[in-house]
Every structure is written in C-alpha cells, then in structure tokens.
Amino acid sequence: MPIITSIRKQKKSSRVNVFLDGKYGFGIDLDNFVKLGLRVEQGLSVGEIKKIIGKADFQIIYEKFLKFSMLRPRSKKELTDWLKRKKVHESMYRKLFLKLKHLDLIDDEKFAQWWVGQRLRFRAKSVRELSQELYRKGIDKNIIKDVLENSEIDENKAIKKLIEKNKWRWSKYDTATAKKKRTEYLLRKGFSWDVVKKAVNN
C-alpha cells in the first residue's frame, strides 16, 4: 500500500502536491485535501488514490467552469457547448450543472432578459432578430416569446436609430436606389414590412 511521504503546497496555487513513497503521486485542491484528512505516513489503497484523483480532476474542471459562467450570464446551451469544447466527460455534466444551479447561475429566462436588455442598450434590434439570437443560444421558444413580449421593444425608435447610424451606406446612390437599398437592408434586419415602409417613407 502506497504511503504519503510528503505534502507540498504548489507555488501560486491553492493546491498541494502529494508524494507517495517518495515520488509525486497527485495534485489536489486544498478544500478536498482538508475534507479527506490526508496526512504524512497515511497509507492509501489503489482504489482510494483513484477516488482522490477523480475528486481533484473534477475540482479543476469545476473551477474553470465556474469562472466561465461568471464572466457574464450564460444560457444552458452555452455552458453545455463549453463542456463539449473542453472535452469534459458527460458523466460530470449533471453534478457540474447542479453546483451552478445551487449558485443561481443557470436560468435561461434570466439570461434571455439580460441578453435582450444588453442588445437593446447598445444596438438597434428588431424583435425578430432578437428572437433569432436567443434561439441560437438555445432558449426555449416559450421563454423567448414571454421575454420579448415583456421587454416593451419600440421597433419604430430602433429602426430610426439604425437608419441614422447607417445612412452613409446609401449616400452614394440616387434617391430611388438609396430607398430600395435601405428597404432591403432593414428587412434583412428582421423588421416587418409595415415598420420598414413607414420608416423609409418618412
């Protein structure tokens, strides 16, 4: 049975290195180190070592996952995509999501409200374009519908801002061509024909 012969704190990290029989055995975070009560001269079976390494590996992933989730609000799909990119085994997903849920860091409705608020604050957006963005973020269509209905989006105001911001695009064309180009651009941005027609004619 391997014996813990020394324990050394890692430089610039809240982790320690555990040496077994004089050789490096594994690294582990301080929280798990304390919880497990590891100490010098303690014997560990192969099974115990595997469990400890599993806990240590999970903690590393969790800390990175937590950091990613706290940079800004995230949808569940964004979090899932991150786990896939990092090639995290699916067996860890449930426990990782439960931890974030406990910290109130997973809520697609709150994410959708935040997303719409941010997009409207910095950009002129149509309801349709916002709906498409939320759909790509993995938000349920019922949540999208509720959030957008309660966001009091003024498309007439948004389209005026968009026209003013992009008027340079059409300055080189004659009046008729500029009107046609402007109409096509606004329709591509997701505004309805009625809203576009009214804005362009004005």
Q: How do residues 50-76 score in pLDDT, each as one tens digit?
A: 999 988 899 999 999 999 999 999 999
Task: Based on the fold, state whether residues 88 and 165 are members of the same structural domain.
Answer: no
Share above pLDDT 90 across residues of the chain, in percent, rounded to a whole number = 48
Domain with residue 87: its CATH number is 1.10.10.10
> What is the extent of the structural domain holding 77?
4-102
Q: Name 106's Cβ contacts closer than 8 Å, sequence gap at least 6.
A: 69, 74, 76, 79, 97, 100
Q: How far apart are the first and last CA of the chain?
A: 84
Residue pLDDT, tens place only, 166-176: 888 888 888 88
Return the pLDDT at 136: 95
Domain final position from 102, 117, 138: 102
Task: Based on the fold, state whether residues 79 and 115 are members of the same structural domain.
Answer: no
pLDDT classification of 152: cutoffs 50, 70, 90: confident
Higher-pLDDT residue of 115 and 200 is 115
**Is pLDDT above 90 for 112?**
yes
Task: Based on the fold, state whether residues 24 and 85 are members of the same structural domain.
Answer: yes
Number of domains in the chain: 2
**Is pLDDT above 90 for 145?**
yes
| CA separation for the pair 142, 109 (Å, rounded) | 10
Higher-pLDDT residue of 198 and 98 is 98
Q: Per-residue pLDDT averaged across 186-196, rounded?
A: 86
Mean pLDDT of the chain: 90
- Predicted TM-score of the model (pTM): 0.75
pLDDT classification of 198: cutoffs 50, 70, 90: confident
Task: Based on the fold, state whether residues 120 and 95 are members of the same structural domain.
Answer: no
Task: Based on the fold, state whether residues 12 and 96 are members of the same structural domain.
Answer: yes
Task: Based on the fold, state whether residues 189 and 160 are members of the same structural domain.
Answer: yes
Higher-pLDDT residue of 186 and 112 is 112
Q: Are 71 and 44 in contact (CB under 8 A)?
A: no
Domain final position from 102, 125, 155: 102
**Is pLDDT above 80 for 12?**
no
Task: Based on the fold, state whether residues 98 and 71 are members of the same structural domain.
Answer: yes
**Is pLDDT above 80 for 202?**
no
